[in-house]
């Protein structure tokens, strides 16, 4: 163990000496572009400045603390070579709060300062009360006070103690009111979603240049705490005109960094989703009693796995190698001992290894999180001390001797390729503050030819709904989202634009039209029950009335249903459908009607059900 400690100290000295020979150069970066996903965002930044000759470390500070290191990609422009790139958290940089948050924090500080004075006054009053209590005994052992002295003492004691209690009650009520005010102010700060203490991330780029000169770095990365949702305003002025769709994005971000005048894009992709394609397992057919049913609804593996590796003291262990057994797929833990790894389809076990600790091999077993603690291994430590140092020295020497010179050849920490996505780009630069507030961004305005038809299901609703049908809608890249509906210059409600249907025609419900009256009535004379031999026959009859009170003709689809038998002893016969079309598979009866203004149609629906007398069926 002493040798191990000596090695650590020696390597630390080497690191310090090496750091002293590599000067640091801080560069300011600016966000150029942002692609917002349904969850998360990809940030594109740029930084420029001068770098010295030889090896140096370029430090870019003030980045989002939610930067995903695995997604970091760096490209350099200039006469230099990028040797390494890594991310580090900066806990010392002061955070710039918004003016609103800063004003609220100052109010809280002022209230808390006043509370300190009030609490100090309560302590003084408490001491004063204790002093009165300690001196309330009058006179000596042999003689007591006179009546007059006693009365004077009681009056003094009552007056002073009453004054103390009144002031204490007043101060306590004041403090309680101040606490409530502080809670309100902190809740208001929380609405801005700006934590009071938050570190910033920085990236460190080790470069090597033959001569001093200018360097430009373009880098991008993924961040959490950002999202967007599609929203729509759908307008129909009349059923003879095209439908108007205002496509909007409701975007919010709380990444810790404001997006100021950036090129903004919206994507329907999800970079957090695994890109590993599924595979069908072998389907082994056997007798039922020997067959174990496979659950095909769940993936075999979670796609990614993450966790934390601890040492013997419960602290995060950095630099642990995490490898998928039998493959070259692996990663290492960060400064907090955390790791995240994309799994291949056949992954079964992970191998955790670190110098001085026993190697652990753990089964995945369908888990998406796996954490563990490594135990020290003294024997392994002794064997690895000299070998580890020698191999490190060899790598260093070889790297200096054979490393090729090339202009701005980047080393990417991790590259994740996602599935093909649709992106929507905002033409003008846009700004979105990091406060979690929702912003509506205009994306596109469409005017699309549409076919209009009313639809009614009077068994469920005595209202007619206007349906707009769009052909070839897939060319507009619409996503499922909430829509505000406007018909004939008025707001009629909200609906959902359902783009998940695998159909050539997209149907949009424009809400209810109160100018179309519908009534469904059960006719008693056609609703009877009679027994014939060993069977019972029940009949049902309904009259459906549709009246058009609009000043123009309407096309309306009316639907109702008759039951569908799933038992050979039960038969269902339609006796009257008023020229409606019956789907025998679903039992749905459809009528397509053209009703002139001010006119009405009456539809008759009648059917009979025959079943055994010993059984019962439910028809109502």
Q: With respect to residue 58, please indicate whether it lies within any of the assigned structural domains.
A: no
Q: Quick one: average pLDDT of 370-384?
A: 67
Q: Quick one: average pLDDT of 390-398?
A: 32
Q: With respect to residue 47, please indicate whether it lies within any of the assigned structural domains.
A: no
Domain end, chosen from 376, 396, 431, is at 376
Residue 591 scores a pLDDT above 60 = yes
- Whole-prediction pTM: 0.57
pLDDT score at 480: 76
Q: With respect to residue 553, please indicate whether it lies within any of the assigned structural domains.
A: yes
% of the chain exceeding 70 in pLDDT: 77
| pLDDT single digits (tens) 573-585 | 999 999 999 999 9
| pLDDT single digits (tens) 199-257 | 788 999 999 999 999 999 999 999 888 888 888 899 988 888 899 998 888 888 888 88
pLDDT score at 528: 86
Q: How many domains does the chain have?
A: 2
Q: pLDDT averaged over the chain?
A: 78
Contact 541, 576 (CB under 8 A): yes
Q: Where are the beta strands (DSSP E) in 64-133?
A: 67-77, 81-90
Residue 432 scores a pLDDT above 60 = yes
Q: Residue 127 in 3-state DSSP?
A: helix
Structure-block tokens of residue 339? 């790791």
Q: With respect to residue 371, please indicate whether it lies within any of the assigned structural domains.
A: yes
Q: Quick one: average pLDDT of 608-620?
A: 87
Residue 276 scores a pLDDT above 70 = no
% of the chain exceeding 90 in pLDDT: 26
The enclosing domain of 555 has a CATH number of: 2.60.40
| pLDDT single digits (tens) 150-170 | 677 777 777 777 888 888 888
Gap between the Cα atoms of 594 and 600, Å rounded: 10
Domain end, chosen from 326, 341, 376, is at 376
pLDDT score at 19: 45
| pLDDT tier at 405, thresholds 50, 70, 90 | very low
Q: With respect to residue 275, please indicate whether it lies within any of the assigned structural domains.
A: no
Residue 12 scores a pLDDT above 60 = no
Q: Residue 478 in 3-state DSSP?
A: coil
pLDDT score at 56: 93
Residue 614 scores a pLDDT above 50 = yes
Q: Quick one: average pLDDT of 589-615?
A: 93
Angle, alpha carbons 501-506-509 (nearest 5°): 105
Structure-block tokens of residue 501? 């249907």
Residue 390 scores a pLDDT above 70 = no
Cα–Cα distances (Å) from 465 to 238, 459, 499, 510, 567, in that order, read: 14, 14, 19, 7, 35
Gap between the Cα atoms of 55 and 25, Å rounded: 11
Least confident among 21-35, 182-196, 427-441: 182-196
The strand pairing partners of 593, in sequence order, are: 556
Residue 178 scores a pLDDT above 70 = yes
Contact 363, 347 (CB under 8 A): no
The enclosing domain of 362 has a CATH number of: 2.60.40.1120
- Residue 207: closest CA among 59, 356, 314, 375: 59
| pLDDT single digits (tens) 60-107 | 998 998 888 888 999 999 999 999 898 888 766 555 556 777 788 888
Contact 199, 335 (CB under 8 A): no
| pLDDT single digits (tens) 472-503 | 787 777 777 778 888 877 888 777 777 766 67
| pLDDT tier at 419, thresholds 50, 70, 90 | very low
- Residue 351: closest CA among 320, 305, 314, 310: 320
pLDDT score at 597: 93
Contacts of 439 (CB under 8 A, 6+ apart): 250, 251, 252, 432
| pLDDT tier at 273, thresholds 50, 70, 90 | low
Place of tokens 């060899």: 394
Give φ, ψ of 366 to 5 degrees: 75, 5
pLDDT score at 366: 81
Domain end, chosen from 376, 405, 420, is at 376
Q: With respect to residue 548, please indicate whether it lies within any of the assigned structural domains.
A: yes
- One-character DSSP codes across 87-102: EEEESSSPP---HHHH
| pLDDT tier at 400, thresholds 50, 70, 90 | very low
Contact 266, 228 (CB under 8 A): yes
| pLDDT tier at 300, thresholds 50, 70, 90 | very low
- Residue 413: closest CA among 157, 73, 138: 73
Q: With respect to residue 124, please indicate whether it lies within any of the assigned structural domains.
A: no
Q: With respect to residue 450, please indicate whether it lies within any of the assigned structural domains.
A: no
User: Greater confidence, 453 or 384?
Assistant: 453
580-594 burial code (b ≥16 CB/10 A, e <16)? beeeeeebbbebebe
Range of the domain at 305: 299-376
User: Greater confidence, 325 or 588?
Assistant: 588
Residue 338 scores a pLDDT above 70 = yes
Residue 10 scores a pLDDT above 80 = no
pLDDT score at 573: 93
């Amino acid at each position: 163990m002493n040798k191990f400690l000596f090695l650590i100290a020696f390597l630390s000295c080497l690191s310090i000496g090496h750091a002293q020979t590599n000067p640091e150069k801080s560069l300011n970066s600016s966000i150029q572009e942002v692609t917002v996903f349904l969850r998360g965002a990809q940030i594109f930044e740029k930084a420029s400045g001068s770098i010295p000759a030889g090896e140096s470390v370029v430090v870019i500070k003030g980045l989002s603390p939610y930067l995903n290191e695995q997604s970091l990609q760096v490209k350099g422009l200039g006469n230099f070579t990028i040797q390494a790139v890594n991310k580090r958290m900066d806990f010392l940089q002061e955070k710039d709060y918004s003016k609103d948050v800063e004003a609220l924090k100052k109010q809280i500080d002022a209230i808390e300062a006043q509370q300190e004075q009030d609490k100090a006054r309560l302590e003084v009053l408490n001491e004063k009360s204790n002093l009165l209590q300690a001196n309330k005994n009058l006179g000596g052992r042999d003689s007591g006070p006179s009546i007059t002295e006693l009365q004077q003492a009681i009056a003094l004691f009552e007056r002073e103690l009453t004054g103390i209690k009144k002031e204490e009650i007043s101060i306590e009520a004041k403090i309680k009111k101040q606490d409530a005010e502080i809670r309100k102010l902190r809740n208001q700060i929380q609405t801005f979603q700006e934590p009071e203490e938050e570190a910033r991330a920085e990236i460190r780029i080790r470069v090597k240049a033959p001569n001093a000169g200018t360097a430009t770095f373009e880098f991008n990365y993924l961040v959490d705490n950002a999202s967007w949702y599609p929203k729509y305003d759908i307008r129909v002025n009349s059923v003879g005109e095209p439908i108007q769709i205002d496509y909007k994005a409701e975007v919010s971000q709380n990444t810790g960094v404001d997006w100021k005048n950036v090129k903004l894009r919206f994507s329907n992709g999800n970079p957090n989703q695994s890109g590993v394609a599924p595979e069908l397992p072998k389907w082994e057919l056997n007798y039922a009693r020997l067959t174990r049913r496979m659950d095909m609804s769940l993936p075999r593996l979670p796609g990614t796995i993450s966790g934390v590796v601890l040492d013997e003291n419960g602290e995060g262990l950095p630099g642990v190698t995490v490898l998928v057994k039998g493959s070259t797929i692996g990663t290492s833990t960060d400064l907090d001992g955390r790791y995240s790894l994309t799994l291949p389809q056949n992954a079964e076990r992970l191998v955790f290894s670190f110098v001085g600790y026993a190697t652990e091999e753990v089964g995945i077993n369908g888990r998406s999180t796996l954490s563990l603690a490594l135990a020290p291994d003294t024997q392994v430590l002794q064997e690895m001390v000299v070998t580890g140092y020698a191999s490190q020295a060899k790598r260093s020497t070889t790297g200096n001797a054979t490393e090729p010179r090339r202009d701005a050849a980047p080393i990417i920490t991790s590259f994740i390729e996602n599935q093909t996505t649709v992106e929507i780009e905002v033409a003008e630069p846009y700004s979105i503050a990091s406060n979690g507030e929702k912003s509506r961004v205009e994306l596109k305005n469409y005017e699309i030819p549409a076919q209009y038809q009313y639809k009614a299901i009077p068994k469920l609703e005595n209202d007619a709904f206007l349906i707009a049908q769009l052909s070839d809608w897939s060319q507009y890249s619409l996503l499922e989202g909430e829509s505000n509906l406007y018909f004939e210059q008025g707001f009629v409600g909200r609906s959902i634009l359902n783009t998940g249907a695998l159909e050539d025609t997209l149907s949009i419900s424009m809400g209810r039209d109160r100018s179309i009256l519908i009534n469904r009535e059960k006719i008693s004379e056609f609703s009877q029950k009679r027994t014939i031999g060993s069977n019972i026959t029940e009949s049902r009859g309904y009259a459906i009335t549709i009246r058009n009170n609009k000043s123009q003709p309407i096309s309306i689809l009316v639907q109702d249903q008759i039951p569908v038998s799933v038992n050979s002893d039960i038969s269902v016969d339609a006796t009257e459908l008023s020229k409606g079309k019956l789907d025998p598979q679903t039992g749905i009866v459809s009528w397509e009607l053209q009703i002139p203004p001010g006119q009405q149609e009456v539809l008759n629906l009648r059917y009979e059900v025959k079943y055994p007398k010993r059984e019962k069926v439910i028809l109502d």
